[in-house]
Chains A and B, each alone.
Chain A
Amino acid sequence: MVLKVFFPSCCSSAESGILIGRWISEQNSAVILAVVHFPFIPVQVKHYLREVQQVTKVSVSVLGSWNNSKQEKEESLSEFLEDLGTIFSHEPWIQISKEGDSKFWNCSTLQKQSDIHREEEIILVYYDQRKVMLSHLHPPLDTADHGAEDASKLSAIFNTVANSKVLFMTDRYDDGPIKMTHWQSDGIEASIIVELMKQASVPACMLLTFLLSLVSGVCNSRVLKFWPLSFLWSKLSTCEQLGHRLQHLQVISSSKKAQNQTQLMRKANIFVSLLIDVALGILLMSWLYRKNQIGHLADTLIPVADHVAEELQDLLQWLMGAPAGLKMNRALDQVLGRFFLYHIHLWISYIHLMSPFIEMILWYVGLSACLGLTVALCILSDIIALLTFHIYCFYVYGARLYCLKIYGLSSLWRLFRGKKWNVLRQRVDSCSYDLDQLFIGTLLFTILLFLLPTTALYYLVFTLLRLLVVIVQGLIHLLVDLINSVPLYSIILRFCRSYRLAAGVKFRVLEQQDGKPLRLLMQINPLSYGNVVQTYRLPTYSCYPKDSWTSLCKKLFLGELIYPWKHKGEKQE
């Protein structure tokens, strides 16, 4: 088996000394953690290693010697280094030596017990201690007990590095008995500001938590739980969005420490998404209130609503005649047309009643944009839903009528074929009918069949209108979901510190010389952007309608109602 030496790239310029690290016999590889410089006292080194072992639970030992000779090769030193092998017994004893500024190092092993000097191939793998630690490729620290079975895998190496965190935390200027080179963590000096921020955030979080509990207490109060109100809340997307954001705030302000990497990322993502959302909302608000845009908006909104109603009226008049040259059942056509016309009449008078207050309502509603762009968008969606309520009503009437006819026709068609629907077994049974039953059935079937085109036409027209509204609302919801779910923090992190989001490692073959060991550079392989979004996407509250396109078409054909909003377990209406 090939011998692999994992060498920290920060130690490549260290002075001569001995290599300490962990030997993983399952993989036949040595993970070097640090270089201890000359001079040292062997007993102290052994003592120190024992201490480190106790703290980190990593079996750290002296693995070999490191000879960095700036000048000509000194015979005495190399001999001395070989002798060191007898003091620190390790099998095999690794000797790495660097000459001058040469990139190619000599590397050899000494097997003392077996006298046969086996010519074993050695691969030198350089790694960056800091990146390996921050990449979180190792299994979580608290579950590292069953490390024995993973010893054959590469994660054992990451585990070793991550577990010896304590080793790197020691202060550079701390004068201990032993001098070492390894990656130096930033220490306490740089993190003072972070610490201060942490301290300051605690009371802020507590205040936020208190306020939130107050708000949620009000929301959960019994007054708002009565039937008509709760039904209304569940239909308004604004309330849903507010509730969603409230949950987010609760997550952020909770004083519990994030347990692992994923939860930490989730918190950070929520925080950034909230910030962006509010910033966009305030931007929108500033635009709205700067030049009396609200007034303009209100002035255009009322004519638009009026115009829509008039267009609908025209459409109905057209349908009541002979639409597209189709000959309809005149009586039914008139009845349906008048029924819908009356509705539009009601609607227009309602709009006119409302018109003086529209501007004021819009002004107050606009204030909610400071809660975030998503809330503003949800309000927009709700306003659209309210303003097109008449279209919804038409659609429901049309669909119900059509559904009834289709249902009747299908059951009467079964009657012709001598079949009937067996409710108990959920299947079609054969059944013999009387003559009277068949006669009545035929009559009804004929009537329904000839009235079907008229109903179908009304249904078709209003379904198309309804679909238009549903699509607009769907697009708004899509935008809201996008803002809600994009893990912005993760994406920024991927952009700036790509090694923090690791998918694995990759190796690069460095240039080499004959007779020298193969040199590899181990790099962190970052997740692709698509994967980042997939992994850290925030869950949204609105699940998309599960039906596929075919089932949607089937629903439309059978006259079942379609909704833009989600189905929440129970059947609506």
Chain B
Amino acid sequence: MAERRYRSASGAPLALRCRQHSASCRELAVRCPRLQLRSLSAVTSAVWLAAYGLFVLCENSVVLSAAIFLMLIGLIIYLHCVKIDQESLLVIGSLGIQLTSSYASGKESTTFIEMSQVKDVVINEAIHMQKVIYYLCILLRDPQDPQGVSEVVPLFQVSVTE
């Protein structure tokens, strides 16, 4: 249950937690920094200032209510579908690998990969935005062609790139 601190490719702090459930089952979790109150308040005040400026110009109070409404919708969407708090990897010996990413709203999306599907686990390099980064990925076996790779599943995608 040790927690170690690292930095992501862009320098954001990350926390890695390893848990050994049993001899053949362990869980690795990477936690991203939570939503900062500072950035949230900055965005909110920016939107409201813009809305107020518009309101002064056109003198229509619909603008203000629309701004609040849009802000709320945007925040919900951001928390529910964009902001990922934690990504974890559960490795169960002879059964498979399970990837879970939990969003800030509590939503979890899970993928389970059977052990028989896993061909290899490799570290690769990729050009991401304006960076060249290393990433860890699982190669899946192609059912038709035993030598081929059907899919590349990158792990800890958000934590690494963010």
What residues make up the interface of A, taking CB atoms closer than 8 Å to B?
1-2, 4, 27-28, 121, 123, 152-154, 504-507, 509, 512, 517-518, 520, 525, 528
Contacts and interface: CB of A to CB of B under 8 A. Distances in A.
Nearest to B23: A121
B90 A509 contact: yes
Which are the 6 A-B pairs with shortest beta-carbon distances? A518-B22, A506-B110, A2-B94, A2-B24, A2-B93, A152-B116
B25 A518 contact: yes
B112 A507 contact: yes
Contact of B92 (A123, A152, A517): A123
A121 B109 CA distance: 29
Contacts of B100: 506
Contacts of A520: 25, 92
A533 B96 CA distance: 28
Interface residues of B, number: 20
Given A517-B22, A525-B111, 19 more contacts: A2-B24, A2-B93, A27-B94, A121-B93, A123-B95, A153-B114, A504-B112, A506-B98, A507-B92, A507-B98, A507-B112, A509-B21, A509-B27, A509-B90, A512-B22, A518-B24, A518-B25, A520-B25, A525-B112
A154 B96 contact: yes
Nearest to B114: A154
B22 to A, nearest CB: 4
Contact of B116 (A28, A153, A528): A153
B21 A512 contact: yes
Contacts of A121: 22-24, 93
B90 A28 contact: no
B94 A509 contact: no
Nearest to B117: A153
Contact of B109 (A123, A154, A518, A528): A528
Contacts of B112: 504-507, 525
Contacts of B24: 2, 121, 123, 518
Contacts of B114: 153-154
Nearest to A518: B22
Given A152-B116, A504-B112, A525-B110, A4 B95 contact: yes
Interface string B75-103: 00000000000000010111110101000
A518 B95 CA distance: 13
Chain A CB within 10 Å — which of B22, B27, B98 has the most?
B22
B122 to A, nearest CB: 23
A135 to B, nearest CB: 13
Main secondary structure of the interface of B (DSSP, over half): strand
Contacts of A518: 21-22, 24-25
B29 to A, nearest CB: 12
Contacts of B23: 121
A506 B109 CA distance: 10
Interface in B14-57: 21-25, 27
Given A152-B116, A509-B25, A4 B110 contact: no
Nearest to A125: B95
A509 B112 CA distance: 14
A152 to B, nearest CB: 5
A167 to B, nearest CB: 25
A512 B23 CA distance: 13
Contact of B94 (A4, A525, A528): A4
A505 B95 CA distance: 12
Given A2-B24, A121-B23, A518-B21, A504 B111 contact: yes
Contacts of A153: 114, 116
Given A153-B114, A525-B112, A507 B90 contact: yes
24 contacts: A2-B24, A2-B94, A27-B94, A28-B94, A121-B23, A121-B93, A123-B24, A123-B95, A152-B116, A153-B116, A154-B96, A506-B110, A506-B112, A507-B92, A507-B95, A507-B112, A509-B25, A509-B27, A512-B22, A518-B21, A520-B25, A525-B110, A525-B111, A525-B112
A298 B53 CA distance: 44
A59 to B, nearest CB: 21
A153 B27 CA distance: 22
Nearest to B25: A518
Nearest to A517: B22
A316 B92 CA distance: 76
Contacts of A509: 21, 25, 27, 90
B102 to A, nearest CB: 13
A525 B22 CA distance: 24
A428 B2 CA distance: 72
Contacts of A517: 22
A520 B100 CA distance: 15
B92 to A, nearest CB: 7
A150 to B, nearest CB: 9
A27 B114 CA distance: 12
Interface string B141-161: 000000000000000000000
A28 B116 CA distance: 13
A194 to B, nearest CB: 33
Contacts of B92: 123, 507, 520
Nearest to A507: B98
Interface string B115-126: 010000000000
A517 B23 CA distance: 10
A27 B116 CA distance: 10
Contacts of A505: 112
Nearest to B109: A528
A517 B92 CA distance: 13
B66 to A, nearest CB: 23
A224 B110 CA distance: 56
B49 to A, nearest CB: 35
B19 to A, nearest CB: 9
Contacts of B94: 1-2, 4, 27-28
A494 to B, nearest CB: 14
A143 B109 CA distance: 31
Chain B CB within 10 Å — which of A28, A153, A517 has the most?
A153
Nearest to A504: B112
Contacts of A123: 22, 24-25, 92, 95
A121 B23 CA distance: 8
A525 B93 CA distance: 20
Contacts of B90: 507, 509
B54 to A, nearest CB: 28
